[in-house]
Amino acid sequence: MAAVGNARVDTIEADHIEDHDSTLGEDESTYTQSLRSSLLTSVSKNGRGYHKYKDGQYMLPEDEKEQERLDMQHTMLLKLFGGKLILAPVKDEELLHALDLGTGTGIWAIDFADVHPNCQVLGIDLSPTQPSFVPPNCKFEVDDYESEWTFKQRFNLVHGRMMLTSIERPEELFKNTYDSLVPGGWFELQDLYMPIPSDDGTTEGTTWDDWNNGLELAIQRIGRDTRLPARYEGLMTQTGFINVEKRIYKLPSIPGQKTNT
């Protein structure tokens, strides 16, 4: 199951908004360039490569095999959503700044920047695995969206997908997002429901069922809430978003085989 939630920020009082003249196109400082260079080398564990910045905070690898999976996931979701990058009803003329949380390979941010050339797109991730050849209105930064948000501009759209294994403090994340959106801005999340269900119960007692339960337990042991996507709608409303909408999509998976136990 894939759950998509989006919500809009209501009008915010004028004294809550800070004016900034800076843009996403500012030159990187020597310190930033040096920091990025030092993070290009993965941390090797059990034959896989993991992010060096805040090592261990995110459970999945960042190596070539994982990047291929993320790009395949991108293609899969495009097919699931009928070729749409977002489902929120954002008007093109309103899109000036967009933020992609946990951008991964950056493929969504790059595609979004191509489709919306007048929008400055920023993708952030713990891993600097994004390509250097990108549209002129697309930029990537090594950053942790669970740390203090220090962006110099507000966004018309904040986007994130498949984030349930990386969110430790959801209430704080949703509040930071709300405060960083312009009045009328949108927040959209696309994620999996866990445990991953079946329509007719045919996965019960299969290797798929064993994997599903084992993955849920592993995620819980690192302090993440596997049922978090089911709470997105309530968290958005609780934070102050309006026009909150949840959509459920069925995502086909390959069934496992019966175990001989």
In total, the chain counts a number of residues equal to 261
The enclosing H or E element of 215 equals helix 207-221
Q: What's the pLDDT tens digit per position in 59-74?
A: 666 667 877 888 898 9
Mean pLDDT of 228-252: 93
Residue 144's pLDDT band, with cuts at 50, 70 and 90, is: confident
Share of the chain above pLDDT 90, in %: 42
Classify residue 29: in a domain, yes or no. Answer: no
Residue 4's pLDDT band, with cuts at 50, 70 and 90, is: low
Classify residue 259: in a domain, yes or no. Answer: no
Residue 196's pLDDT band, with cuts at 50, 70 and 90, is: confident
Distances (CA, A) of 178 to 70, 88, 144, 236: 27, 15, 17, 9
Cβ burial, residue 133 (10 Å; 0-12/13-18/19+) = exposed
Classify residue 105: in a domain, yes or no. Answer: yes
Would you give the distance in Å from CA 148 to the centre of its chain? 17
Domain that residue 115 falls in: 2-16+47-249
pTM above 0.75, yes or no: yes
Mean pLDDT of 177-191: 96
Task: Let me know: does 100 contact 139? Beta carbons within 8 Å.
Answer: no
Task: Let me know: does 3 contact 192? Beta carbons within 8 Å.
Answer: yes
Q: Residue type at 99?
A: L
Classify residue 94: in a domain, yes or no. Answer: yes
Q: Look up the CATH number of the domain holding residue 68.
A: 3.40.50.150
Distance CA 113, CA 138 (A): 6
Mean pLDDT of 76-103: 94
pLDDT value at residue 164: 81
pLDDT value at residue 18: 38
Domain count, the chain: 1
Classify residue 188: in a domain, yes or no. Answer: yes
Classify residue 209: in a domain, yes or no. Answer: yes
Mean pLDDT of 189-216: 84
- Partnered with residue 50 across adjacent β-strands are 43
Say which DSSP state 217 is in. H
Classify residue 41: in a domain, yes or no. Answer: no
Sheet holding 2-8, edge to edge: 138-142, 120-125, 97-101, 155-161, 181-192, 2-8, 242-249
pLDDT value at residue 25: 41
Say which DSSP state 258 is in. B
Classify residue 38: in a domain, yes or no. Answer: no
Say which DSSP state 232 is in. H
